[in-house]
Chains A and B, each alone.
Chain A
Amino acid sequence: MQSIYCKPSNTSSGADYAEKMVARGLTNNYDTMQGDECTTLFYPITANRLYANVPIYFDKDKRLINKLLTCMELVDGSTLATYGGVDMPSSFKKAWVVLKDKCDNLLIEFPISKINRVLNGGKNVFFKTMPVDWSKSYIQLTDTSGLGSAGFLFRVWTVNK
């Protein structure tokens, strides 16, 4: 006879919770597909951009019009050495990324190191089909020391609106 206090269950409450988070669209398998298209954005951090606490706005890119952001990665020079002029992970603790929508509402702000897989346990960072207005979004350097000879290379995954 089973105890009324220990009702057997096939799923733990932890598993139930994980399922709820998946149903709410708040988690994703980290090895799943990231989006329909991937665009590469390269921002050389040269003298005209080498200022602390001055926003470096993303360029208006027609490839990103009517697209929703689903994943963003900052590729480093140790991962893609042949690209040329790509900053190393040691430079990534000197910058922030701020993403806004077309009404200038803040969507997310995070240290740029968050989206570098070397520094993020090999995991991609996913976004819930975020309506980013790239012309209102920017990178902000908080320290320029050691920067200026390379740049930030982003891979941006999107789906159509």
Chain B
Amino acid sequence: MQTLIIQLGKYVFAKMTQVTTVSNFTFDITSAANIANANIEVYAFEAYSAAEVATDQLGNNLIPAADAPKLMFSLCNTQGNLLLENASFQRSRASQNSGFVTYLNNFKVDLTKSYITLTATGGGLVANQVAGFVFYYRFIK
């Protein structure tokens, strides 16, 4: 069985500014901007909830693990084309996937056009909680 070798990695998040209606939320581009550069390929990622880390370095609270199944996410390229549609946030948590991360075939991901989707409300969700991700990437020529 193969597991991850980290080349470079960056934490990014999508903040749910409200949790009362099902909606899409874009990634925070101030932290995600360099991932979208043309000379970067994303080859893997994983998602994080509060079960793995309660608060990020910017002071954002991550979503409760119990509410992780309410989220899915979609990754797009710079043209806005969907590369990965409605992926499960819950199964993208390595802790919920036997320690394995999700691999991509060297995607050119533009996180400014990618988004998470809140599919249900309630539970422990509170406005301004974030869905956290670490994207693993490498530079290409």
Contacts and interface: CB of A to CB of B under 8 A. Distances in A.
Interface residues of B, number: 34
Interface string A105-132: 0111111111001011111111110100
A26 B5 contact: yes
Nearest to B53: A111
A41 interface: no
Interface in A42-99: 53, 93-96, 98
Contacts of B99: 30, 117, 120-123
Interface stretch (B7-15, B72-80, B81-89, B117-125): B7-15
A8 interface: no
Given A21-B2, A94-B54, A109-B57, A27 B103 contact: yes
Contacts of A111: 48, 52-53, 132
Contacts, number: 119
Contacts of B5: 25-28, 126-128
A114 B52 contact: yes
Interface residues of A, number: 42
A30 B56 CA distance: 28
Nearest to A55: B57
Mostly helix, strand, loop or mixed at chain A's interface? mixed
Contact of A53 (B43, B57, B94, B100): B57
Given A123-B3, A128-B7, A26 B94 contact: no
A57 to B, nearest CB: 15
Contacts of B105: 17
Interface of A: 17-18, 21-22, 24-31, 53, 93-96, 98, 106-114, 117, 119-128, 130, 140, 142-143
Interface of B: 1-11, 43-44, 48, 50-57, 59, 94-95, 97-100, 103, 105, 132, 134, 138
